[in-house]
Amino acid sequence: MTQVKQISGRGIPLTGDDIDTDRIIPARFLRCVTFDGLGDHAFEDDRRQMNGEHSFDQEVYQGASLLVVNANFGCGSSREHAPQAINRWGIQALVGESFAEIFFGNCVAMGVPCVTAQSEDVKSLQTAIANTPQLTLTLDLGTMQIQGSDELTINVSMPEGARQSFMDGLWDSCGQLVTQIDAVRDRASQLPYLSWA
C-alpha cells in the first residue's frame, strides 16, 4: 500500500473559478484506450488560445508538482481523464478554494490529494508562486499545512476520511488487493462459482 503523507515541489498557479473538465482535457482526447500521453494535452485549448502565456506552457513552471487553483475546480462532466491529464503532466497535489465533488473523488482514487484553503490564502499562494517560481512548497497531510518559507504557512483542509486514506495508504484499492492476495485467494477458494487455475 502506498501512503501519501507529504508532497514537496514547486508550485504552478492557475487562476480562475469554475475551470471545468472540458477545459482541463478537451473531449476529442477522450477516445484514448489508455491515459498515456494525456498530460501533453492538459488545457490544450486554453493553452492554444493564450499563445504560450498559459502557466502550463511557461518555462518557469515546468516540473512543478503542486497546482494552485481557485473555486469549483474540476466542475462539469465526471470524466476521469481530467485528473489523469493533470497528474500525467506532473502534478502530484492540488490546492484550491473548492473542488467539484466527482473530480475530488477521482483524484483521491488516483492518490492525488486535493486540499482546500481560504480564498485569500489561495490567492496569496498564487501570488507568492508567481513572484518566486522556484519557491519549494511542502504539503503536509499530517499537520494539514502548506509551508513555503518561514513567512509562508497556510492551513489547509480535506475531508477526514480522504485524509486518513492517504495517510494509511488505503486510497490505493489495487494495492490493497495485491498486499492481501493470499486472503483473496482463500476467500475465492470458498466460493463454489469460482475456480482458480
Q: DSSP per residue over 68-103, as a string?
A: E--TTBTBSS--THHHHHHHHHT--EEEES-B-HHH
Question: Taking the complete model, does pTM exceed 0.85, yes or no?
Answer: yes
Per residue in 103-162, pLDDT (tens digit) is 999 999 999 999 999 999 999 999 999 999 999 999 999 999 999 977 899 999 999 999
Which pLDDT score is estimated for 137?
Answer: 97
Q: Provide the mean pLDDT of the chain.
A: 92
Which backbone phi and psi does 89 adopt, to 5 degrees? -75, -25
State mean pLDDT over 45-64.
96
Domains of the chain with bracketed CATH: 6-189 (3.20.19.10)
